[in-house]
Structure 1
């Protein structure tokens, strides 16, 4: 399986970033955290400092399984200002590759790039104006439209990450990972 990349910018939402990485790794998916700054140390929106696995300048994003943008503010705005990330996201989507974003990032990062045009998507409530051309879904925390997955906020971190797992390695693996985290079908709603 190809490497996936989750991008960290100062002000990222810790729950969304770390839950996604944790769930993917539990599923055996190779995922690298990437700082978009010149430092591996990145500070989240709630002052949790995280050391990224790599710097964006040092990774080849051209052959990724997933490119993933957590939300948080000003983290999503910082991601949107990163031109190498913007170029990678556009190239990935244009090639039919997999892109995921949660919370503010669907509206602040993906929407302005035109990546949600004509797609069902979700974002943090109140940020819908940035969802350029998207069919915004309000009734669920996660939307899957082709190879793009979006989540609406911190409470959607688990179902968002499990949807990524199900999309890549199958629903059986996603259910096994969920059960290992005590998220049982019938007591927990899956969105894949």
Structure 2
């Protein structure tokens, strides 16, 4: 909510948004922003609107709609982080047409059988700890922003101590699609500590750069030798494979012909695969499920479900 409040209090943004509405150009808001930001600006008048369930009661009663996506003229609203992909795709379709939106949808793994995910677990072991879990997320130029931000966000909501570390010479990286991200530490400093879990986010270029990091390679091997948990999403599974860390481990299959095939057993149709102390995911639109699977293994289903509700993401019944 603090973010939506700060947006509401920005007079320049208010002028921009009001001009956008007056000119009948597209505008939108997600999660708490429809109620906290757009409503005080008078931009929901006679508009069908949805928003985060916790703030749904603040929306104009007659015009409030309990749907993931609501388009009302130039206004598009959505419920929360768990519906953000649908929200973005809706805007893409309005801007560029259905064909473009479907192409993006397929790239994000939201189509062709990935709507109803299957999580698979083999050789189950206990991941619970007697202390706050410490997680390292190494990133590089070209890493997939959707994945690294989503994983860090979900785990932090679950009260995990997360460190995002750059393998570049700068704390700032340029992620896939040009998104600028400021990390917490350089990999050299991060390597001075140990972690309960190391997760590699995907992104083809980012994965290649992660693979070249000697410090990260050493960290991953130590993680493997000590029996601690590690994993990867998307194309970064190849990093683990090339470092010899997936021997006799089952993993997901990333559906891209450009990815080098791996020799270990890969599970078709699974979005998230856990094999002992290793977890992998297809990435992109599946990273929320991947992150919640980690939360569930560390803390149990109750906390994972609680985090899921805050995200407005459907958590599978157990």
| Same-fold status (TM-score > 0.5) | yes
Number of the residue aligned with 1:60? 191
CA offsets 1:87-123 (integer angstroms, 9 cap, x no match): 111110121101010000002x101111111111014
Equivalent positions of 1:7-26 (< 5 A) are: 7-26=138-157
Higher-Rg structure is 2
1:184, distance to aligned residue in structure 2 (A): 2.4
1:183, distance to aligned residue in structure 2 (A): 1.5
Distance in 1 (alpha carbons) for counterparts of 2:258 and 2:301: 30
1:8, distance to aligned residue in structure 2 (A): 1.0
1:172, distance to aligned residue in structure 2 (A): 1.4
Match of 2:248 among 114, 118, 131: 118
Match of 1:81 among 192, 202, 212: 212
1:76, distance to aligned residue in structure 2 (A): 0.4
* 8 Å Cα contact 1:71/1:103 also seen in 2: yes
Q: What SS does the corresponding residue of 1:143 show, helix, strand or coil?
A: strand
Cα RMSD of the aligned pairs, angstroms, is 1.7
* 8 Å Cα contact 2:292/2:308 also seen in 1: yes
Q: Segments of 4+ in structure 1 off by > 6 A?
A: none
Q: Which has the higher helix share?
A: 2
Number of the residue aligned with 2:229? 98
Number of the residue aligned with 1:159? 289
Number of the residue aligned with 1:149? 279
* 8 Å Cα contact 1:7/1:69 also seen in 2: yes
Q: Which runs of 5+ in 1 are unaligned?
A: none
Number of the residue aligned with 1:51? 182
Does residue 1:140 correspond to 2:238, yes or no?
Answer: no
Number of the residue aligned with 2:9? none
Cα distance, 1:33–1:165 mapped onto 2, change above 3 Å: same
* 8 Å Cα contact 1:62/1:88 also seen in 2: no
Distance in 1 (alpha carbons) for counterparts of 2:261 and 2:217: 15
Does residue 1:40 correspond to 2:194, yes or no?
Answer: no
Q: What SS does the corresponding residue of 1:42 show, helix, strand or coil?
A: strand
